A and B are shown apart, each in its own frame.
Chain A
Amino acid sequence: TQLLEQSPQFLSIQEGENLTVYCNSSSVFSSLQWYRQEPGEGPVLLVTVVTGGEVKKLKRLTFQFGDARKDSSLHITAAQPGDTGLYLCAGYTGTASKLTFGTGTRLQVTL
Chain B
Amino acid sequence: ETGVTQSPTHLIKTRGQQVTLRCSSQSGHNTVSWYQQALGQGPQFIFQYYREEENGRGNFPPRFSGLQFPNYSSELNVNALELDDSALYLCASRVGGQYGYTFGSGTRLTVV
A48 and B4: CB pair below 8 A? no
Give the total number of A-B pairs whose CB atoms are below 8 A apart: 59
A42 and B103: CB pair below 8 A? yes
Considering only CB atoms, which chain A residue lies closest to B48 in the complex?
Answer: A97
Picked from B48, B50, B59, B105, the residue with its CB within 8 Å of the CB of A42 is B105
Q: Which of A55-63, A68-76, A100-108 is found at the contact surface with chain B? A: A100-108
Cβ-based interface call for A19 (8 A): no
Docked CA distance A40–B55 (Å): 29
Residue count of chain B within 8 Å CB distance of chain A: 26
Considering only CB atoms, which chain A residue lies closest to B58 in the complex?
Answer: A98
B42 and A103: CB pair below 8 A? yes
Q: Fill in one digit per residue for B84-112: 1 if any A CB lies within 8 Å of its CB, else 0.
A: 00000010100000011111111000000
A45 and B105: CB pair below 8 A? no
Considering only CB atoms, which chain B residue lies closest to A31 in the complex?
Answer: B99
Cβ-based interface call for B28 (8 A): no
Picked from B40, B44, B105, the residue with its CB within 8 Å of the CB of A101 is B44
Q: Which residues of A contact B (CB under 8 A)?
A: 1, 4, 6, 31, 33, 35, 40-45, 48, 50, 88, 90, 92, 96-104
